[in-house]
Amino acid sequence: MKKLFYLMVVIAILGLIVSGCFIPLKSVVPTSEKGNPNPEFGTPEIEKITFIHYVKSSVRSKPVWDDTEDDYKLLFGGIKWLATMNYEVDPDGSELDPVIVISTLKVSLETWNYAISGTFKLFHDPIPLENGLLTPGNYDERNIVAWRDLGGSGIIAVNYLWFNPATKEIVESDVVFNTYYDWSVMGESDKMDLQNIATHEFGHNGLNDLRPPKDWALTMYGYSDFGDTDKRSLGTGDRLGIQKLYGSE
């Protein structure tokens, strides 16, 4: 009987894989790496997290779910920036006006700043990248936003995050958008919306992805689609999460 049970389980799993319903582990949790990136410079032991933002159909089975859901997930018990940070932006590869890229990213950053009270702000305004030779994804103590080839379709963007586990301080964040896709700032149905995706990626400066289908309208929901603009504005859970880390409205 046990052999028959195990055989049935294996057949069921294979059926899910063939039907495309099986979600691989890498799409559910971010990857994490430990180590000293620049030991020759006396860099402290830090950890690197890689968040991958996947394409997923925006079809919802229960449209009554909206951005009033109060779900949020902190990273590693509450890692965060201890001082205001800034991004340097390389718009090459976006096929968008560089001025519009900077202004759109500024709006995405301010969306999170507006949810935080007091004099502390999480983000400075983004600035143009001064040294275009930098490689996003490598630890260099500079926060980069750029467009690169991420290996074809399926992945919209990647956020590389480094933090010091001893102090729970985030020390660097690089965001890379996939040049495979066409980008827009107008919510065009056949393109990826920059403000939408950027607001999600910037939320990773302390917040983890959400996966439950009921969270589809929250900014930190881990999937997006063409023409998606739901993540431009924060939902209840997004505001609760960022306020838990940096202060309430």
Q: What is the Cα–Cα distance from 237 to 243, expressed in whole angstroms?
A: 10
Domains contained in the chain, number:
1
Question: Worst-scoring range by mean pLDDT, 9-23, 44-58, 204-218?
Answer: 9-23
The pLDDT of 69-78, averaged and rounded, is 95
- Percent of the chain's residues with pLDDT above 90: 71
**pLDDT value of residue 2:** 42
The pLDDT of 219-248, averaged and rounded, is 95
Q: What is the Cα–Cα distance from 148 to 50, expressed in whole angstroms?
A: 15
Listed in sequence order, the residues at least 6 apart from 208 whose beta carbon sits closer than 8 Å to its beta carbon are 30, 73, 74, 75, 220
**pLDDT value of residue 63:** 65
**pLDDT value of residue 100:** 98
Q: What is the Cα–Cα distance from 208 to 242, expressed in whole angstroms?
A: 11
**pLDDT value of residue 55:** 96
Greatest C-alpha distance within the chain: 67
Q: What is the Cα–Cα distance from 164 to 207, expressed in whole angstroms?
A: 16
CATH number at residue 178: 3.40.390.10
- CA 80, 241, 209, 96 dihedral sign is negative
Is the pLDDT at 44 greater than 50, yes or no?
Answer: yes
Q: Residue 129 falls within a domain, yes or no? A: yes
Q: Residue 15 falls within a domain, yes or no? A: no
The pLDDT of 226-242, averaged and rounded, is 97
**pLDDT value of residue 31:** 55
Is the pLDDT at 169 greater than 90, yes or no?
Answer: yes
Listed in sequence order, the residues at least 6 apart from 216 whose beta carbon sits closer than 8 Å to its beta carbon are 58, 60, 65, 223, 230
Q: Residue 18 falls within a domain, yes or no? A: no
**pLDDT value of residue 3:** 47
Residue for token pair 């980008």: 183
- Would you put residue 91 in left (φ > 0), alpha (ψ -120 to 50) or beta? alpha
The pLDDT of 21-49, averaged and rounded, is 54
Q: Which residues does residue 74 pair with via DSSP β-bridges, in sequence order?
A: 207
pTM given for the model: 0.83
The pLDDT of 152-161, averaged and rounded, is 96
Is the pLDDT at 5 greater than 50, yes or no?
Answer: no
**Quick check: 147 and 92 in contact, CB under 8 A?**
yes
What band does 131 get if pLDDT is binned at 50, 70 and 90? confident
**pLDDT value of residue 133:** 74
**Quick check: 67 and 218 in contact, CB under 8 A?**
yes
Give the range of the structural domain holding residue 189, as residue numbers without chain letter: 31-246
Q: What is the Cα–Cα distance from 75 to 31, expressed in whole angstroms?
A: 12
- Percent of the chain's residues with pLDDT above 70: 79
Q: What is the Cα–Cα distance from 231 to 213, expressed in whole angstroms?
A: 14
CA 58 from chain centre, in angstroms, equals 17
**pLDDT value of residue 43:** 60
